[in-house]
Structure 1
Amino acid sequence: MKLEVRGIEDGQPIPERFAFGVYSSTDHMSFGPNKNPELVWDQVPDGTRSFAVIMFDPDVPSVADDVNKEGRTVAADLPRVDFFHWLLVDIPADTRRIPEGEDSDGVAPKGKAGGPGPIGVRGVNNYTQFLAGNPDMGGTYCGYDGPCPPWNDEIMHHYHFEIFALDVDSLGLEGEFDGNAVREAMKGHVLDSARVTGTYTLDPDLR
């Protein structure tokens, strides 16, 4: 398969229009346009019956004690974990494109609904956990929400956009399913896949 993420070159910085958080010289971070980028794919294998999209950041701190704290930094050698930013499953087999802004166009305080969306079925991304203690933002975040790494992290973050061609019409996922559930449900059903990786940081020293 071949995947194009329009506006993002493989290995290059992600434009701010796709970000949940953008750099601010006064407050470290402010909300960004948070548009999902346009995905276009082809060279689909025979037997494809649906697609799934996953976007994740493998560079998220495993311990959040120092995240976004004045006078502290998130150490480069801290163990890292996956943070899911976008989950779409049961995308019809005849689909070859997700338009820019179709699944997200702006930050939605307290999240947005899961289940069937404009294209496919939305899963729950990890902003649900990250913002759970915030009275103004806490809620269930589904579908796409873009990059917003800690502004005091010593490392650049990488964002993997992945498309999977599957041999089933549906993964059978219902309710508030997460990225691990998608990966588990796809086991044994992936005919092919493709990936594009972009980078992003809010640390002025890395920008």
Structure 2
Amino acid sequence: MTAFTLRSNDLAEGQPKEKRFSFNSFGHDGDNVSPQLEWANAPEGTKSFAVTCFDPDAPTGCGFWHWQVINIPASTTSLEQGASGKLAAGLEMRNDYGFNGYGGACPPEGHGMHRYQFTVWALPVEKLEVPDDASCALVSFMLNMTSLGKSTITATYTR
């Protein structure tokens, strides 16, 4: 069986990501561009995908959700660089910055290296049943409870 994989032209496992993928507020001047992602070999029975970006190192006690896109059709196998806010299909949920879409890296200055886990989730449903204003925690719970499989690239960022 071939593994479900995620790859990116913009991110490399364990490597720092470029400033253009970082946030452009809270005293930081990145470009807030979502990275290019593509996936292959989804598990049998996949009816949709979700894409998330999570920082487990944020000083919150519960991490920080930078991006959650759900209800991506099973026929989609990639997101172009800068796709956030321009998706033809899929629903961008409210991130922990408080808006719908991609919010780039913005660790506190001097806080050290943070990990950014970009994950594609294969789901057995065409539509994840969550309210349009669902919290990041609820979306994450539903992804973990229904996923057929997932693949992750962990990039880093330091300020």
Are 1:59 and 2:17 an aligned pair? no
One-letter code aligned to 1:201: T
TM-score (norm 1): 0.70
Cα deviation 1:130-162 (Å, max 9, x = unaligned) = xxxxxxxxxxx1121110110131x31100000
**How many residue pairs end up in the alignment?**
156
Distance 1:100 1:84, change over 3 A: same
Counting strand residues as a fraction of each chain, which structure ranks higher?
Answer: 1
How far does residue 102 in structure 1 lie from its aligned partner after superposition? 1.2
Q: How does 1:6-21 map to 2 (within 5 A)?
A: 6-21=9-24
Cα deviation 1:69-101 (Å, max 9, x = unaligned) = xxxxxxxxxxx4310000000000110011101
Q: Which residue number corresponds to residue 157 of structure 1?
A: 114
- Identify which of 60, 63, 69 aligns with 1:88: 69
Q: Which residue number corresponds to residue 50 of structure 1?
A: 48
Q: Which residue number corresponds to residue 79 of structure 2?
A: 98
2: CA distance between counterparts of 1:45 and 1:84?
Answer: 25
Q: Which residue number corresponds to residue 138 of structure 1?
A: none
2: CA distance between counterparts of 1:172 and 1:122?
Answer: 14
Distance 1:30 1:82, change over 3 A: closer
CA contact (8 A) 1:103 1:118 kept: no
Cα deviation 1:29-65 (Å, max 9, x = unaligned) = 4321111001100011111000011101011113xxx
CA contact (8 A) 1:56 1:85 kept: yes
CA contact (8 A) 1:102 1:118 kept: no
Unaligned runs of 5+ in 1: 23-27, 63-79, 106-116, 129-140, 203-207
CA contact (8 A) 1:5 1:37 kept: yes
Q: Which residue number corresponds to residue 77 of structure 1?
A: none
- Identify which of 189, 193, 200 aligns with 2:146: 189
- Identify which of 97, 100, 118 aligns with 1:127: 97
Unaligned runs of 5+ in 2: none
CA contact (8 A) 1:20 1:32 kept: yes
Q: Which residue number corresponds to residue 33 of structure 1?
A: 31
Are 1:4 and 2:3 an aligned pair? no
How far does residue 193 in structure 1 lie from its aligned partner after superposition? 0.6
TM-score (norm 2): 0.90
CA contact (8 A) 1:56 1:86 kept: yes
Runs (4+) off by over 3 Å: none
Secondary structure, aligned partner of 2:57: strand
One-letter code aligned to 2:150: S
Higher radius of gyration, 1 or 2 = 1
2: CA distance between counterparts of 1:13 and 1:21?
Answer: 17
CA contact (8 A) 1:92 1:120 kept: yes
How far does residue 199 in structure 1 lie from its aligned partner after superposition? 0.5
